[in-house]
Chains A and B, each alone.
Chain A
Amino acid sequence: SQQGEEDPQALSIQEGENATMNCSYKTSINNLQWYRQNSGRGLVHLILIRSNEREKHSGRLRVTLDTSKKSSSLLITASRAADTASYFCATDDKIIFGKGTRLHILP
Chain B
Amino acid sequence: EAGVVQSPRYKIIEKKQPVAFWCNPISGHNTLYWYRQNLGQGPELLIRYENEEAVDDSQLPKDRFSAERLKGVDSTLKIQPAELGDSAVYLCASSLVRGESYEQYFGPGTRLTVT
Task: Give A residues with C-beta under 8 Å from B.
Answer: 2, 4, 30-31, 33, 35, 42-45, 48, 50, 88, 90, 92, 94-100
Rounded to whole angstroms, the CA-CA distance of A50 and B102 in the bound complex is 11
Q: Which of B42, B103, B109 contacts A33 (CB 8 A)?
A: B103
Rounded to whole angstroms, the CA-CA distance of A50 and B109 in the bound complex is 28
Q: Which of A2, A88, A94 contacts B56 (CB 8 A)?
A: A94
Rounded to whole angstroms, the CA-CA distance of A33 and B103 in the bound complex is 8
A40 to B: closest C-beta gap in Å: 10
Point out the residues of chain B lying under 8 angstroms from A48, CB to CB. Answer: 101, 103
Q: Is B77 an interface residue (CB 8 A)?
A: no
Point out the residues of chain A lying under 8 angstroms from B43, CB to CB. Answer: 43, 88, 97
Contact status of A98 and B101, CB under 8 A, knowing A42-B108, A44-B106: no
Rounded to whole angstroms, the CA-CA distance of A99 and B40 in the bound complex is 7
> What sequence of 0s and 1s flags, for each residue 38-57 of chain B, a beta carbon within 8 Å of any chain A beta carbon?
00111111001000000010
